[in-house]
Amino acid sequence: MTANSMAIELEGLSKVFGRRKRRVQAVNNISLKVERGQVFGFLGPNGAGKTTTIRMLLTLIFPTQGQVRVLGQSPYVARDVLKRVGAVVETPVFYNYLTGRQNLEVLARTSGTNQPARIEALLKQVNLGERAGQRVATYSLGMRQRLALAAALIEDPDLVIFDEPTNGMDPAGIQEMRGFIRELVDVQGKTVFLSSHLLSEVEQVCDRVAIIHRGELKREGSVAELLDGSSRVRIEAAPLDRAQVILGEGWKLTPYEDHLLLEAKRADVPAIVRRLNETGIDVFHVAAERSSLEDYFLSVTQGETV
């Protein structure tokens, strides 16, 4: 991987708020690389440092230490690189007395890229075409979120940063947004960096993810890589107490009333069955279960939810 292939590079990034007794280490020595042409998920419990990191990426706040590079350049030095970045951070704010279309026109004129045809195409793309002529004051939170996504794409950026892009959307809207995000990458060739609390959605839409916890980077990799090492095997056998003793010597397990749940991979199943058969234990059912991203996340963050 070359520097030019990177959409985002963080090196030893840290952010401290306050001093002395009020000192808070929001982000602690994060190093991370996001290659271009993928959907990258940035996950963590509330207060983990996700939004603080995103704000440093966009130069909205300055790091206490460390380096940030966006599309191969430091946004703190080469400010023009941010013109190639579209972002939705926290709650989107618009002029309530203007229509959705008029809000996008204001933003387009401000950036010097007013193209009416592109604005109409974006409104249609985020499914606001029929409501574009209504004042934003009448929009739901989900509709405002859609308008914010259109606003982030006005200048046709190479990198799009979404902080909770599905906030306020119903299940149908979330599914639609998933397809929209994949289209940005698979069809339009952009890179998407997103944070989200909907782990099942992240699992379906992201190519790679990073988990941040209490300001520190805990895990990073493709979804498949992370979950491959956290698979489980469910076993129904009798007598169950003897099976627990025998399998507990080789695998970490959790006993339940009618089955055992082992932290093991699918490839371990033959060895598990052989060991039980050799000791005269009857095996009634064995099934490999792939852990979900939510299960993995909870194990990494010691049970803290997003």
Contacts of 108 (CB under 8 A, 6+ apart): 114, 115, 118, 119, 154
pTM of the model: 0.78
Locate all alpha helices (DSSP H) within 164-292, ordered by sequence: 171-186, 199-205, 223-228, 240-247, 269-278
69, burial (CB in 10 Å: exposed 0-12, middle 13-18, buried 19+): buried
- Which residues on neighbouring strands pair with residue 213, listed in sequence order? 216
Can you count the helices (H) and strands (E) in the chain? 10, 13
* 115 shares its domain with 180: yes
* Per-residue pLDDT tens over the stretch 79-126: 999 999 999 887 778 999 999 999 999 999 988 887 899 999 999 988
Q: Give every strand in the sheet of 24-35, ordered side by side.
A: 24-35, 6-17, 65-70
Q: In CATH, what number is assigned to the domain containing residue 284?
A: 3.30.70.980
How many domains does the chain fold into? 2
Query: Is 301 part of a structural domain of the chain?
Result: no
Q: In CATH, what number is assigned to the domain containing residue 59?
A: 3.40.50.300
- Provide φ and ψ at 258, rounded to 5°: -125, 5
- Which residues on neighbouring strands pair with residue 283, listed in sequence order? 237
* 29 shares its domain with 174: yes
Query: Is 43 part of a structural domain of the chain?
Result: yes
CA distances from 114 to 14, 88, 155, 156 (A): 37, 20, 9, 12
4, burial (CB in 10 Å: exposed 0-12, middle 13-18, buried 19+): exposed
* Per-residue pLDDT tens over the stretch 180-192: 899 999 999 999 9
Counting Cα atoms < 13 Å in the Cβ hemisphere of 295 gives 12
Low-confidence ranges of the chain (pLDDT < 70): 1-4, 227-230, 290-292, 294-299, 302-306
* 160 shares its domain with 252: no
Query: Is 295 part of a structural domain of the chain?
Result: no
* Per-residue pLDDT tens over the stretch 25-53: 999 999 999 999 999 999 888 888 999 99
